[in-house]
Amino acid sequence: MADDRIKAFFENIDMFAQARKQKLFLTMVFGGPSEYTGRDMRGAHAGMGIDDGHFNAVVENLAATLKELGVSDGDIAEVAKIAESVRDDVLNR
């Protein structure tokens, strides 16, 4: 919410629900139990006008948060790799 590059995308969004979706998604992609029932990445982000700069900002903020929480650099790199794997879907390319 503090990042001027992306905060407009999160205005009027239930951030508790947003955090829950992100947690469920990350749990699923790391091989945990799949309880994610949301829309696919392409559908969920269609028409939002997200570009590479916005995507990079989200990944940077996620990495910084994980670092702050004491997550290892290796695990943070894995999260970034997973995020990169959905870039084209999020950007609807």
Domains and CATH numbers, the chain: 7-90 (1.10.490.10)
SS3 state at 60: helix
pLDDT in tens, 56-75: 999 999 999 999 999 999 99
10-52 confidence digits (pLDDT tens): 888 898 988 888 888 778 777 887 777 778 888 888 889 999 9
pLDDT tops 90 at residue 5? yes
Scored b (16 or more CB within 10 A) or e, 48-59 reads eebeeebbebbb
**What is the Cα–Cα distance from 90 to 41, expressed in whole angstroms?**
5
CA pair distance 75, 63, nearest whole angstrom: 10
Residue 77: per-residue pLDDT:
94
Distance (Å, whole) CA 7 – CA 23: 19
Residue 83 has pLDDT above 80, yes or no: yes
